[in-house]
Amino acid sequence: MTVLEVLTYPDKFLKKKTKPVEKIDDNIRKLVKDMADTMYEAPGVGLAAIQVGSDKSVILYDPAPDKEQRAYSVLINPVIVSMDGEYLSENEGCLSVPDFRADVKRAEFVVAKGLDLEGNPVNIETDGILSVILQHEIDHLNGILFIDRISSLKREMYKRKVKKQLKKTN
Ligand code: NI
């Protein structure tokens, strides 16, 4: 079991765009395993590789995380193919944005595609919580945090809070 450090805002690495995985090798399989350990330990419903300091285009998620079952899904090089409708994601949070939650306007339906860990193409059409998780995690791969999608007033509130905390600890 390897629990990785989760980078948190304002770490600049979180703003990076990730690179596509060219070959699913032992490094990628190890990364996925460590990411799963990290996600269940947190616990969280999703994790993007960029959050643990890797610039690879990899996400994993489990809408109902259970440490024993570990029924997570992996998407490699995921992209959102289409989105439709509107959905208010209430109290959205992120392991990289600790101690903060906010409502985020999301699409209701998404179609996403990518590869599974064996390199097989995967197509997901979904709504509800899984749709929100996919939008949130794929945003991470493009350097976007959920606080980039809330009102600037709320975002500034959070940024001020973090600044204050950083001053206290330094
Ligand atoms: Ni997140």
d(CA 152, CA 65): 31
Q: What share of the chain has pLDDT > 70, as a percent?
A: 100
Question: In the chain, what are the domains?
Answer: 12-169 (3.90.45.10)
What is the pLDDT confidence band of residue 90, given thresholds at 50, 70 and 90? very high
Q: How remote is the CA of residue 147 from the centroid of ligand 1, in Å? A: 10
Sign of dihedral through CA atoms 28, 3, 65, 161?
negative
Q: Is 156 a catalytic residue?
A: no
Split at pLDDT 50, 70, 90, the class of 118 is very high
Distance 51 CA to ligand 1 centre (A): 8
Question: What phi and psi values does residue 123 have, to the nearest 5 degrees?
Answer: -125, 130
Query: What average pLDDT does range 95-121 have in this prediction?
Result: 97
Mean pLDDT over 90-98 rounds to 97
Mean pLDDT of the chain: 96
Residue 29: is its pLDDT beyond 90?
yes
Distance 61 CA to ligand 1 centre (A): 11
Q: What is the 3-state secondary structure (H, E, C) of the chain?
A: CCCCCCCCCCCHHHHCCCECCCCCCHHHHHHHHHHHHHHHHCCCCEEEHHHHCCCECEEEECCCCCCCCCCCEEEEEEEEEEEECCEEEEEEEECCEEEEEEEEEECCEEEEEEECCCCCEEEEEECHHHHHHHHHHHHHHCCCCHHHHCCHHHHHHHHHHHHHHHHHHC
pLDDT value of position 120: 98
Given the residues 86, 90, 137, 156, select the one marked as catalytic. Answer: 137
Q: pLDDT value at position 169? A: 80
**Predicted local confidence at residue 170, as pLDDT:** 72
* Dihedral angle sign, alpha carbons of residues 144, 103, 71, 8: positive
Which amino acid, 21?
Answer: V
User: Which pLDDT band, with edges at 50, 70 and 90, does 138 fall under?
Assistant: very high
Task: Give the type of residue at 71.
Answer: A
Please state, for a pLDDT cut of 90, what percent of the chain lies above it: 96
pTM of the model: 0.96
Give pLDDT, residue 168. 86
Chain-centroid distance, C-alpha 102:
16
